[in-house]
Amino acid sequence: MIPLSYFLVFAAALFSIGLYGVLARRNAIAILMGVELMLNAVNINLVAFWRYITPTQIAGQAFAVMVFAVAAAEVAVGLALVISIYRRRNTVVADDIDLLKF
């Protein structure tokens, strides 16, 4: 039987890798991929806690489904923003999108 803490360590590793990706990448699409990785790690934690702590209530899975929906909405709007920015400024590099910067 796998202890719950193994899942937690694994999810923490994925979340940290995703955070590094969000902070280090310059391509806006790659930044969005990092965000997806972080949301995924959160979902692993939700399902693992459901399985080990409260397996008789399905709440953990219900919230995992909602996280899926939010992730899908986030990607749809995020990629639409990327397309819109690319049309106006002809770039997807986050460093070049600096109109709001002094």
Partner 1 sequence: MTSELILFFILAIVAVASAVGMLLSRNAVYAALYLILNFATVAVFYLMLSAAFISLVQVTVYAGAIMVLFLFVIMLLGAEHTGRLSESGWMFWTPIVLGAVLAVEALYIILRQWKAIPATQAAGSDFGAPAAVGLELFQNYLLPFEVTSVLLLVAMIGAILLARSKKA
| 19 binding partner 1? (CB under 8 A) | yes
**Alpha carbon distance 91, 27 (integer Å):** 9
**Alpha carbon distance 51, 68 (integer Å):** 18
Torsion angle of alpha carbons 74, 37, 35, 91, nearest 10°?
-100
| 89 binding partner 1? (CB under 8 A) | no
| 97 binding partner 1? (CB under 8 A) | no
Shortest spacing between CB 10 and partner 1, in angstroms: 5
Q: Give me the sign of the Cα torsion angle 41, 42, 44, 45.
A: positive
* Of positions 30, 35, 42, 97, contacts partner 1 by CB under 8 A: 30
Footprint on this chain of partner 1 (rule: CB under 8 A): 1-10, 12-21, 23-27, 29-30, 32-33, 36-37, 40, 43-44, 47-48, 50-53, 55-59, 61-62, 64-66, 68-77, 79-84, 86-87, 92-93
